[in-house]
Amino acid sequence: MDSSSIRPALIGLSGRLMLLTLGFIMLAEVLILLPAVANFRNNWLTDRIAAAQTAALVLEAAPPEAISDRLIAQVLDSVDAHSISMKIGGVRRLLATTDVPPSLSGDYDIRTAGMVTAIAASFQTMFSQGDSLIRVRGPAPMGGEFIDVVMNEQPLRLTMWRFAGNFLILSLLISSIAGALVYASLSALIVKPVKRLADSISSFGHEAEHGRTVIIPSGRRDELGIAEQKLAEMQKALKKELKQREHLASLGLAVAKINHDLRNLLSSAHLLSDRIASVPDPTVQRLAPKLIRALDRAVGFCQATLAFGKAQELPPTPRKFELATLVTDVRDLLALDEDAPIRFLVDIPEPMQINADPEQLLRVLLNLSRNAIEAMLTHQGKGDLMIRARRHSGSIDIEVADTGPGVPAEGRERLFQPFSGSNRVGSTGLGLAIAADLMRVQGGTIALVDSPGGACFRVTLPA
């Protein structure tokens, strides 16, 4: 799906974070409110029981003739109750009472009620209707078993609603302050860096060829900082890869344009070489076949170069041949005679026959040898080029070693990638990449191995 068709959400990440923060804080406040209201109800009832205990002591201490209706009314009014009774020694005594209706809306014992029971009773009290009466039982003074107080539930209900309202207002205030602080902190620490990452990815997708689209890491050392660093590395690597692909595409187009004309020129040269071969001069007779073979290989190389531009190589056609004969062809193509500043040395036990594609192996050894010669001529103007081979159980190693400056450490990581394996002026950087591809299609490998002086490339083929 095209990224341009993605519609932004009505509420962004910041808004969702704010709503979630407020929602979770309010949920926590509600969960705290339930036991808080239940505890408030228990405390309110405990205060009434304590007042009833005091009233019971007064009534027990007063002489019978001093207990009048007026005193009883004052005692019940101070407790805000309709009746007070106490059980002592197995006998229940009614200490003070008014006209109590025969039915009660609830019976609650603060001595044994747990938190769940208290919460359920709180809901029942807050949502009950009318001026109902409840009986509350608590510990009795003077060694009594319990004390009963019958009271109106409406004052308790009004007080509980007032407490719950004040608690909710305070909770909203705390939630707003906490939500704003959490939102600001998370927005600065998470939302903005994530948005920066998303913007960088989006802009890089539209303008990957421009350097300004690469994100600049903020230097953070947490997970988001690591994500920024990895994204920057990935974007840089992808930009480099895109440039290489663009270079390869340009190379393929250029090769396609010149391939036709170049093959025509080589065909003309091939006709001329056929006429030269008819000259009865011994030197001409000795060199003409090699010239013809070189021209044939040049025509094949043109087609192979075009195939490389398409990121593929022709399938190999392996056959058995003498490795020493192939190395001699390499020396002839390099035109290294006895007077050349580069000495060509060979260390191949004879006879050594190998089963491979001779043309592809020739191209590999020729590329490696030319790189070595150019490095030695550029660095010291002379040197030794050695091609040696050894047979092992299951494989054959062919090494191309020189006495030049060697391969710099910074160039070894991308040595066999196109346009990356060479830092010499005028070099295309394709020789080692072509050699690696040619070895891969034959089931072999090529690698740079440690050498006491110069560079040494090892070509390994299955025996």
What's the pLDDT tens digit per position in 159-203? Answer: 889 988 888 888 788 777 877 787 787 777 777 787 887 777 777
Q: What is the pLDDT of residues 322-381, one digit of tens each?
A: 999 999 888 887 877 777 789 999 999 888 999 999 988 998 998 899 889 988 988 888
Residue 66: pLDDT band (50, 70, 90) is: low
Examine the pLDDT at 396 and tell me if it is beyond 80.
yes
The H-assigned helical ranges of 339-461 are: 358-379, 431-441
Say what the pTM is. Answer: 0.45
Are 375 and 408 contacting, i.e. CB atoms less than 8 angstroms apart? no
What is the model's pLDDT at position 2?
47
Spatial separation of the C-alpha atoms in residues 355 and 343, rounded to whole Å: 28
Spatial separation of the C-alpha atoms in residues 448 and 74, rounded to whole Å: 109
CA angle 318, 288, 346 (to 5 degrees): 55
The number of C-alpha atoms within 13 Å of 133 and in the hemisphere containing its C-beta is 16
What is the model's pLDDT at position 356?
92
Strands 91-97, 81-88: pairing kind = antiparallel
CA angle 161, 165, 171 (to 5 degrees): 140
What is the model's pLDDT at position 421?
55
3-state secondary structure 99-168: CCCCCCCEEEECCCCCHHHHHHHHHHHHCCCCCCEEEEEECCCCCCCEEEEEEECHHHHHHHHHHHHHHH
Report in angstroms the alpha-carbon separations of 184 from 28, 180, 220.
20, 6, 18
Report in angstroms the alpha-carbon separations of 418 from 75, 211, 421.
104, 22, 7
Q: Tokens for 115, please give them.
A: 């938190």
Q: Tokens for 373, please give them.
A: 């010669």
Examine the pLDDT at 308 and tell me if it is beyond 60.
no
Backbone angles phi, psi at 409, to 5 degrees: -65, -35
What lies within 8 Å, CB to CB, of 55 at 6+ separation is 75, 76, 78, 79, 84, 95, 96
Are 371 and 400 contacting, i.e. CB atoms less than 8 angstroms apart? no
Spatial separation of the C-alpha atoms in residues 372 and 367, rounded to whole Å: 9
Examine the pLDDT at 256 and tell me if it is beyond 70.
no
Q: Judge: domain 313-462, CATH 3.40.220.10.
A: no
DSSP helix/strand/coil, 81? strand
Examine the pLDDT at 78 and tell me if it is beyond 60.
yes
Are 389 and 352 contacting, i.e. CB atoms less than 8 angstroms apart? yes
State mean pLDDT over 102-125: 81
50 vs 221, more confident: 50
What are the residue boundaries of the structural domains of the chain, listed by start? 13-177, 211-248, 313-462
Q: What is the pLDDT of residues 365-386, one digit of tens each?
A: 988 998 899 889 888 889 999 9
Spatial separation of the C-alpha atoms in residues 36 and 10, rounded to whole Å: 38
323 vs 302, more confident: 323
What is the model's pLDDT at position 195?
80
Average per-residue pLDDT for the chain: 78
